[in-house]
Structure formats: structure tokens, C-alpha cells
Amino acid sequence: MLDISNSMHEVQQSLGVGSGVSHANPVDVKWQETLDKAAAGVVSVKFCHTRSFDGEKAVSSEATGFVVDAERGYILTNRHVSGPNPFWGRCIFENHEEVDADVIYYDPIHDFGILRFDPKAIKFMSLSAIPLRPDLAKVAEAVRLIGNDAGEKLSIQAAVISRLDRNAPEYDGEGYCDFNTNYIQAASGATGGSSGSPVINVFGQAVAMQAGGKAKTATDFFLPLDRPLRALQCLQKGQPITRGTIQCQWKFKPFNECQGLGLTAEWEGAFRKAFPTEVGILVAERVIPEGPSDTKIKVGDILVKVNGELVAQFKFLDEILDSSVGNTVKLLLQRRGKDVEVLLEVQDLYKITPNRLVTVAGGSFQDLSYQRARAHGVACRGVFLCNAGGSFDPLRSGCTIQKVDDKATPDLDTFIEVMKVIPDQTRVVVTYTNLHDPHTPRLSILRIDRYWSKKISQRVRNDKTGLWELTDLADAVARLPPVPRAANFVQLRSVPPAIADIVKSIVKVECYVPEYLNGSDYTPRPSVGVVIDAEIGVVLVSRATVPHALCDISLTIADSIIVDGEVLFCHPLHNYALVKYDPKLVMAPLQSAKLSPTNVEQGTSLHFVGFKDNNIGGPVCTQTTVTDIYNLQLAGNAERPKIRAMNSEAIKVDTGLADECGSGIMIGDDGVVQALWLTSLYVNDEDDDMYRYYGISTSTILPVISRVRKGEVPKLRILSVEFEAITMSQARDMKVSEDWISKVEIANSYCHQLFKVKKRTIQGDDNLRALLEGDIVLTLNGNIITRLSETEIQDDAEVLEARVVRYGEELDLKLDTVLADDFETKRVVLFCGATLQPPHHAARLRVRKSPSEVFVSSVVRGSPANHYGLIPATFITHVNDTEAGDLDSFLEAAMAIPDNSNFTLTTMTLSGIEQVMKMKRNDHYFPTKEWSRASPKWTARLIQG
């Protein structure tokens, strides 16, 4: 591979040209001249597919294109580059001039599209077009690929054409595949980024276009340019690019295979005489149900004639169909050795090629396309789920919606009308089918959200501008008033009577998050929560289920009643959340769980009542023994810090059922709950996010619960540090005196340990009012600290008195405490596809001092942020030269810049590495939006530039 991003010098050397060699090969000299000229017409295409559409996911990527009309600014590239998706992109020429580009045309079937740019925007080079000559593609022809191979600016690869009659490749996965065309095969080993590269001959003419390949065999597949040339000529003449179809997929098969399908010797002789260079003909491979060919063409039929003419190549069949839209064609077929004539209506291919995308309740939908119907052998009709987001997250992208709320949805318009009248938060039954199994209807109960996604909107492609223009179709329908409902609980069998009633204190909890905050890029896990106060309606649940307050929460009581919940409080250290619900809506004998105020000790016998992660059926119950009380030390993800439990004492039990249950309780014979069974994220040795199941004593949570039961909203104050335990030998090495070691051994005869500060989250200027990394805490408010539970602050004290060992010296400190609520996210900005927020607790713990209060929590695929390389878990410190210390200053600077204009963002990684990157806003597809919490509800506003 030869890099010519700066010059053709390496090409010259490799060809022996211009290096003082007197016996230069004239062919090499000609290639050199050709490559010099052709390179000016090849561009690197950097693009975003801003929405998932027609089986193609939203993505940011790069590829190649080449100028085919310098005056009009037309660039030819692949369809899988131009998309059917909403497209946002730019083209970079050889001299590194950059221009915006729009999609002016993409083919409904074949792998080519045409981009348009403004030729006047190129100031520093002369534009030249590469001529298209599909007729010059020959076997054994030496060609060159010029393109953006493997992300390089411009590179060249040599190849020799080996086949002209290969069938279109079938790629793995659910995405796009070309069909009803032959492909050209060669071996060059091109890789990602080379899609759309011109395949040129020694005279600088494009004989094909790179479209795909197989990396393992270094085989490349080139698209013939017959149909791209026709489309280009139609655009140049201002004529419509007609496309016809009979909804039948054909495959090129050699004559010997066709003989086995019934091809007679007479017809084979006729073909060989008419087309002496051909070695096969077209055979029907797939007939689309309910299409023009259905019942008339059968799989295995051999195509002989169309309108009385022998047809052996795809391009001639395409020509006939494209010129016959709305008319009929007569096909002569060979079926098991017999001639069969059929008349077929030629359908307009564009009528079964969707050009609109409807978004409702967080999901996006389109009419089922010919592409998807052909891929799965189903009728080309129905509502196709492009992106299973929001309320439709439980379904799978790529399914078809058959019914909503028992109302049939045969097409997109009907689906819209059905969805318009469904009130916010209504639970409906959705019937759907997976295209892999279209004959098996499936049902799912979905809660239709119209709060986070208020409007039903539609984007329709404008063929003149290439933009997908947005219109609102309907506003949200207000939710119906909730109705109180009654239910009875199941009875636990084979347990003591005092234990049996615990089911009346357990509810199932599900959570939906419209945005990924606090670094949490996962779907929350359903689990069970414990009712801690049935009178005022409060449930305690793991933060693996309710990670933050920007969410919808559903509580299921007695597997019967479903009520809404809202976040009341999130504990930053112990990994639990308190959820409030309206007790007036529950006419069931819910009971507040009795919580023990004493610590659980090793050896205690308890009943374990656990719920497996699928939450199906009742709990699993067993007698168990507490085998260990240990300090929960969970490794955090260094690159993507997330919420995890810390500074907590965990309980281990001797039953294997505990390892299968993500939630539950541990209860004594008297019916008093001694501990809760929770889930926390952590990172394993391979840096994979994992879940840890563990128990936490009710005595740890009871101080907060007591305030809630008094009707207070907890205003917990904490020390903003993470502790880790050290042994007495380690303490002695760190200059803890023998006197203190003796005091520790007396204070806790079961566990001799002290606690060292591992990390602090807030950096103050006064080191005498804060704990530092490495400090060993001896006492807090005069109490010797030998257990993590003793570091808990039981009151609202803003200052604690502490005695610590710092660098071998004992110090008395007055420590400032912080409000736990200050670590919770209350404001979120969606900017260029990035979710921005103040740094959360785990992020602050990762850095010594936050360089900014603008933290990137997540980035949407196919967005400008994704495109220009803004990554999650980074801080934004400047917009151009303006400091962006917080969200307000960031918005003021960023929104002052005109839309689609270049600006820079200065970012800093968690490791303190500063970077500067280019960025552009795209308000058309990614408007700036803000969510802010005015407890308990969140409100949204669009921010205009």
C-alpha cells in the first residue's frame, strides 16, 4: 500500500520512475501520470448516519468517493456510505480542503449513491472528474484502487480483475446487501474506509467501484458502473431516475447448474450462440410474497426472454424494468424443462423504498422496505421498528408491529393514528413478529411514555436538498388519573409463620432511563425492593435498578398492582435508592418491613429470601448462616467510572442461592429483617463491568430510614473520601504508634484494622479541614474507628473532629462534611449528541480535582460528538478560547457559534491529558436540549443558538 497523502514520491520510487533509472518502463510511466491526475478527483468521505433506518444503524464512519461531475459537484460513492439513513457528512480532497456534502441520490437496491458539494467552495485546487467506463472492465485487466484505505488519507492498491460475473456478495449480519446485479471480483486486500474507491485503468477511467470484500482471503468485490452511469446521466439532464421492479430476486448460475434445473439443450444453444462469452444465465432465487411475481414466477425458474428478447445479464434486465414502470412485461421462463410465459406489472421501486421516519415514545418506525422484505422473504408491507428505544426498548430492533392495544397496524399511517390517542404512561399490549420468524406472533406489554418523548414526529427525506425535514404529527395525550386497585399476596410455604408475612413488604421494581447519566451505559436491571414505610409509601431498592433520578419507575405490588414511583433519595456510598409512591393507590395489605437496629454478626442463622434476576415467579427461600462480615472493596472502572458501593460492610452467607439472586432480604425467626441483599457494579480483572451480589446490614441504613419515617427528605452529610482497610502490621509500618495499635485491639477484639484514605472526591485549599490520600483515621468525634460502619455520620454535623496519622505524624483535624445530595445529578444538557452533566461522585473520585464542571457522560452513535471523537468520561474545559467552567458558561460560549460552523473544544481525560478537537453543531438533527430537576419532576427546554 502506498500513501500519497502528501505527494506521489513513494509511487514513483516503487515504479522506478523519477529516481534516475534510465530504463523506466513506459507502462509504469503511464501509470504514474494517471495516478497523479486521478488522485485529485478522489475524496475522503467522513460521515454520520444520524438515525438508524432500514436495518442500517446510526454510525459515524469514513469511506471514499470520487468526483464524477466537477461542474455540478457530484461525487460517486457506495449506498452503504450515502445511506438510506439521514446523512450528515463532509468530503476532504487531496490538498486537505474540506466541503460539506449532501446525498442527492441513492439507489434503492444497488450499492451506489451520489453526493453533492459546492464546487465554488474549493479554492486552492482545480477540480477534475474521473470518467465512468463500465464497458472497459475486462478479465485480466490491471487496475488500481485509489481510496481512503484503513483510515489513511489517500492510498493506492494494485489489483487484477479475475471475474466479471460474480453474484452480489451476501454479507453477514442484519444490514444492507446488494442483489440483482453481477459484481466484479479481484484480489487487492482493501480494508475499511476503501468503500467507494474508484477502480481505474491505466488511462484514468473508472471501470468499477470498490464495494466490499473478504479480509481473510484478500478478495475484493467491485460494483459495475452501468447503473451508476445511467443515474449520473439522468441527473445531468434533469431527468427522473426511473427504477422498476417485479419483486423477484435473480441469481446468475452457470449452464451446467441450469441443466439440472431443466434448461433444455435448445435454449442453452440459443444462449451460447447469442452470447458467446457468457457461461450462465439468470435463475429465480426468491419471489416476494404478494408482489407482482408472486404465483407467477417460481423459485428455480430460468429466465429466457423478456419482451421477446433473450436476457442473460442483470444490466439488460434492469434496463427493461427501469424503462417499463407502470407497464407490463412478458417473461418467457423455463420451468423443469417446460416453457412458461407470464405477464407481469412493473412496479415503481421508489414506492416500496421508505423515505420517512416516525418517532414516538422513544422508538422509531418506518414502512417495511423492499430491502428488508427481500432479505427475509416476507411481503413488502407493515410497520418496521428501526430503533427499539424508549417505551419499545423491550422489543428488538428489526421486528414488525402487527397490533397496538388490540388495534391492527397494517401500515405506518394506521400505526400513527393508533399511537396518537394513547395517553401518557398507558400500558398496552403490542403484538409483533420477528422477521427471522414471521409466522410466530409475539406479545409484549409496554408502558407508552409521552413525558420524555412528548411529540410524535416525522422526518421525511427531501430529494432536492438531501435533508430529512422534521414535522410534528401530534402532541402527547395527558395521562389518565391513576385508579386505586386491590390485590392479595401469595403465601410462602414451608417457612415459619413470622417469615411468611415478609412477602407483604416486597415489591418488584422496574426502571426506564431516557438518558444515560453518571457514566451508566447499561439498561437498569429489574429487581425487588423492600417497603420501609407503607403509610407514606417508600421503598428501598438497589441503584443497579434505579441508578439516578432521571427515570420512570414502576412498582408492582403482589404481582398485580402497578403504581408509579419517583426517586426520593440516592445514597452515594451504600448503593441504594429510596423510591416514593402514592399509598392511596394500593388497596393491598402492604406492610412496613421491621428493620433490626443491631449489626449482623458472623455465625448468625437467618432465613434467606431471594429473587432471581428474571423476577419471574416467587422468591427462593432457605435457611443460611452468615459466614463473613467483610469490607466491600469493589474495583471501579478507571476509564468509565460508574456508581458502585464503597465504604460499606458486606455480608456473606453459605448458600449458593445467594449467588443466583440479585435482590432479596435476610430475616430472623422473629420476622425482623436483619440485612438486605443488593447488587453493585464493579470491574473485573479484564476491565469488564460485572455485578456483585452482597448483603448489607439494616443497621447501616436505619439512620436514613428513621428520618424518612418522620416525613423528612434525607439531607445526609458524608466525608467525601473512599476508605480502605489496613492491618496492624501495615499500620505499624505507616508510623501508627504502639499505643494506638493497642487501643484498636482492645476496641475491637474480633477484627484488628484501621482505615486509610484511598481517594478523596473534593479537593479543598485547607488541608487541615480535609482528609488526604494516605491519611489513617484513628478517631472521629472521639470514637476509635475500627469498622466502616463507624465512619457513618449519624447527625447533620457540618464539621467532624478527627485524629489522623499523616505522613507519620499524628494530627487533630476539624473535617468539613459535604451534602450527599450535592453528588446527585440535577441538570443535564444534550449537545451535539453528547450528554453533559456536572461530574458525578464516581468521576470526582477518579480525578484529583475536577478541571471543569462539564463532564461528558455518554455520546450518541452517528452524532457530531461521535463523529469528531468526543468520548465519554472526559471533561470539557474550553469552547474555542472561552473557559467552560460549568454548564452555563459552556452553553453561553457554544450557542453563540453559528450552526454548522467550526469551533474547538478543549477536553481533559480522567488521567489529566489535555486534547483539542474540532467540532460542529448540527441543530437540524441534534438540537441542544436541557433537562433540569425541580424536585421531583424534570422539565425540558430547547436551547436555540
* Per-residue 3-state assignment (H helix, E strand, C coil) for 205-254: CEEEEEEEEECCCCEEEEEECHHHHHHHHHHHHCCCCCCEECCEEEEEEE
The kind and range of the H/E element at 834 are: strand 834-837
In 489-526 the beta strands, taken as DSSP E runs, fall at 506-512
Single-letter amino acid, residue 23: H
Instruction: Give the HSE-up count for residue 492: Cα atoms under 13 Å, Cβ half-sphere.
Output: 22
Per the CB < 8 A criterion, the answer to whether 25 and 16 are in contact is yes
- Give the three-class secondary structure for 856: strand
* Per-residue 3-state assignment (H helix, E strand, C coil) for 380-449: CCCEEEEECCHHHCCCCCCEEEEEECCEECCCHHHHHHHHHCCECCEEEEEEEEECCEEEEEEEEEEEEC
Q: Which residue in the list 44, 49, 60, 80 is annotated as catalytic?
A: 80
Closest CA to 689 of 646, 649, 638, 652: 638
Within 8 A by CB and 6+ apart from 202, the residues are 27, 30, 31, 34, 142
- Is 111 part of the annotated catalytic residue set? yes
C-alpha cell at 834: 453528547
Q: Rounded to the nearest 10 degrees, what angle do helices 226-237 and 314-322 cross at?
A: 30
- Is 923 part of the annotated catalytic residue set? no
Per the CB < 8 A criterion, the answer to whether 945 and 928 are in contact is yes
Instruction: Give the HSE-up count for residue 309: Cα atoms under 13 Å, Cβ half-sphere.
Output: 10
CB atoms within 10 A of CB 841: 24
Closest CA to 267 of 305, 299, 297: 305
Q: How many residues would you count in the chain?
A: 945
Pairwise CA distance, residues 341 & 330, whole Å? 7
Phi, then psi, of 76 in degrees rounded to 5: -95, 135
- Is 752 part of the annotated catalytic residue set? no
DSSP one-letter string for 327-341:
SEEEEEEEETTEEEE
Pairwise CA distance, residues 129 & 118, whole Å? 14
C-alpha cell at 861: 452513535
Q: Which residue in the list 194, 542, 663, 720 is annotated as catalytic?
A: 194
Per the CB < 8 A criterion, the answer to whether 101 and 74 are in contact is no
Q: Which residue in the list 102, 111, 226, 318 is annotated as catalytic?
A: 111
Closest CA to 146 of 28, 14, 36: 36
Instruction: Give the HSE-up count for residue 1: Cα atoms under 13 Å, Cβ half-sphere.
Output: 17
For the annotated catalytic residues, the residue numbers are 80, 111, 194
